[in-house]
Amino acid sequence: MSENKQTRREMLRNTALAGFGLSLFGIETKAAVSDENVLSELIAGPAPVGKTMIGVPFEKRDAVRVAMIGTGLRGRSILSEFVNIPNVKVTAICDIVQEKADKAKAIVEKAGQPAPAVYVKGDRGYTELLKRDDIDVVYIATPWEWHVPQSLAALNAGKHVACEVPAAYTMKELWQLVDTSERTRKHMMMMENCCYDYDELLILNMVRAGVFGELVHGEAAYNHDLRAILFETKDEGLWRRAHHTLRDSNLYPTHGLGPVANYMDINRGDKFDYMVAMSSGSLGLQDYRKEKLDSKDPRQEEVYKAGDYNTNLIKTAKGRSIMVQHNVTTPRPYDRINLIQGTKGIFRDYPSRVYVEKDKADHRWQTIDAYKEKYEHNLWRVVGEQARKLGGHGGMDYLMCWRLVQCFREGLVPDMDVYDAAAWSAPGPLSEISVAKGSMPIKFPDFTRGKWTGARTSIP
């Protein structure tokens, strides 16, 4: 397909998404901004319809049967992780594009597994896949706006759900995920791969060992120059840029926030209490398209609501503070920040460096090398070699999938649950409301409904 035809197709698709987005984002945000009662109801959530999923283990099984919805770049990447993990069988795959589904099917067959069932039946083809009885967990790797309807459908079909980030983009949807997981007694997990990266797990062990003392502050970000990807006429360019036209918020909070939430035991002894948000002006995409696109390209007419920088400040119930940032529209090196400050020391990533007062650092940053032997996480000790060899993003993708399979096979409680998926995704809608209200503080929902005080761990 020529670029002009592809661009026209993209514009039609994004116009439809904008209409879809208006119902999801605009109505809820406008109502919450104009009516404090509506905002209070969104934060409080509905009455519970089931029992908590905290501490609920998987049903133990010898082999794990996986179905994949979404076989684009991310879906096929994750599929490549699963087929390299013992005792995993990929039973079914679904996409709206035959070529992508065929590529995914070939990955499974090349790994020596039987050909999976393939569903290419339009936007709702996944509903046919979910009728199967040979699926333990459905992995969802589709554009963001499909995460909630597909997750809800899978839960209601009696399947566990592993979903790419973010989990949802409205408060109503986040509560729907919590309630449906509790009612169906099936786990809904957001697959935050950054929680399994080497440094994040090393620092998690150091935090738990008290190396940094009492925690007081954390910082997290997704600062990643995606301008070229956003304007592609394929793959993520067909849908991701459209979200910048829909809302002024933190569009993608979880990569940085998930690991910091683990350090601070969020939902496991502490919780997010309230947050404020502020956005910069929106200039990056406009400047890029002016330089890179033809003056007659229809994308020149798009109006971008999202500020280039969206910055959030979160206060926890224990009095800790967290800064969360999102920027994908200006030139800069990649940075998740990944900072944790305690009363005895501090760690900051990109590049990774540490300062521990007792180790006579003389007010100078040190490398983390001296801490690796003692504090390297056991998951990296056990499967780090094959993770680095086989896995994407430096091995953390493989480790994430391997750990999920381990939890299934041994009948363990998953590392992260639906309450984490909801809490980590909540800065999306909450930041939009706060920005619209002039950076007013907005309370965080307690998706655990009071059960956040219990002592438990995330990734053991």
Q: What pLDDT, on the 0 to 100 scale, is given for residue 166?
A: 98
Strand order in the sheet with 339-342: 353-356, 345-348, 339-342, 215-223, 321-327, 310-316, 272-279, 442-443
Find the DSSP H helices in 116-221.
126-129, 147-156, 171-184, 198-208
Q: Predicted confidence band at 5 (pLDDT cuts at 50, 70, 90)?
A: very low
Strand order in the sheet with 88-94: 117-119, 88-94, 64-69, 137-140, 160-163, 188-190
Q: Predicted confidence band at 360 (pLDDT cuts at 50, 70, 90)?
A: confident
Closest CA to 275 of 42, 441, 36, 29: 441
- What confidence tens digit (pLDDT) does each residue in 20-62 have? 544 566 789 999 999 999 999 999 999 999 999 999 999 999 9
Strands 188-190, 272-279: parallel, antiparallel or unpaired by DSSP? unpaired
- What confidence tens digit (pLDDT) does each residue in 251-295 have? 999 999 999 999 999 999 999 999 999 999 999 999 999 999 999
Q: What pLDDT, on the 0 to 100 scale, is given for residue 72?
A: 97
Among all chains, which residue has been given the structure tokens 């929680």? 195
Which domains, and CATH codes, for the chain?
195-377+416-453 (3.30.360.10)
Tokens (6 digits) for 257:
């926030």
Q: What pLDDT, on the 0 to 100 scale, is given for residue 382?
A: 97
User: What is this structure's pTM?
Assistant: 0.95
Whether 3 shows a pLDDT value over 70: the answer reads no
- What confidence tens digit (pLDDT) does each residue in 108-161 have? 999 999 999 999 999 999 999 999 999 999 999 999 999 999 999 999 999 999
- What confidence tens digit (pLDDT) does each residue in 380-423 have? 999 999 999 999 999 999 999 999 999 999 999 999 999 999 99
Is 273 exposed, middle or buried, given 0-12, 13-18 or 19+ CB atoms closer than 10 A? middle
Nearest-angstrom CA–CA distance, 393 and 199: 13
- What confidence tens digit (pLDDT) does each residue in 209-244 have? 999 999 999 999 999 999 999 999 999 999 999 999
Residues contacting residue 299 through CB under 8 Å, at least 6 positions apart: 7, 11, 231, 241, 289, 293
Nearest-angstrom CA–CA distance, 241 and 229: 9
Closest CA to 155 of 185, 118, 196: 185
Closest CA to 299 of 355, 231, 401, 361: 231
Stated length of the chain:
460
